[in-house]
Amino acid sequence: MILTPGDRAVLIRGHTSFLIVARAGRRFPLIIDTFDDEFVQGIMPDDIIAVSAPEGGFVRPAQYLLDLVRLYDQPLLVLPKEHPGSKRLRYLLSAGPEIHLSCGIIRGTHPEQHLLCSGEDLSGGVLSGKDGVIFVENLSGVKSWSYLPNEPLETEQQL
């Protein structure tokens, strides 16, 4: 699948989970904080930022998370592998030129940005970006997809 969203995000629904995918749209430093370290990954305009909801849920919080990182430079927090909180993470984010989706990893414990925890229905997919285009490969579990409106979210409109 080849998508040309411009600045819009794309909602990709599987049977039990979903993804929100967008181009970064600009260069910025992505700060990644782990239990004992902090490092910086450079994000380029055509890099992909993806939020995964492995168990489904509400789209709006996933969109908030996407915007916090893509528009407002929110750092990412990575939990240690044995952290009990990883089971409660409903929305996960990864950013980079290519992202591989996997249902076989522990949520929120991978600082490597080429890997993102997904639902089983979207596992095995690969997301990448180049020349303003988002490429989606190996997503056989896609039920539907749509562009999300490119308008300020409710909380931003209220301020």
Give me the residue spans of the domains in the chain.
2-143
What average pLDDT is seen over the chain? 91
Q: Is the pLDDT of residue 56 over 60?
A: yes
What's the pLDDT score for residue 157?
59
- Count how many Cα atoms sit within 13 Å of the Cα of residue 98 in the half-sphere of its side chain: 5
pLDDT of residue 153: 60
DSSP designation for 60: H
Q: How far is CA 58 from CA 20, 40, 44, 126, 143, in A?
A: 11, 30, 28, 23, 16
> Is it the case that residue 85 has pLDDT exceeding 60?
yes
| pLDDT > 90? residue 150 | no
* Residue 112, pLDDT above cutoff 60: yes
Under the banding of pLDDT at 50, 70 and 90, the label for residue 35 is confident
Measure Cα distances from 67 to 6, 62, 74, 104, 106 in Å: 15, 9, 9, 26, 24
CA distance 86 to 98: 23
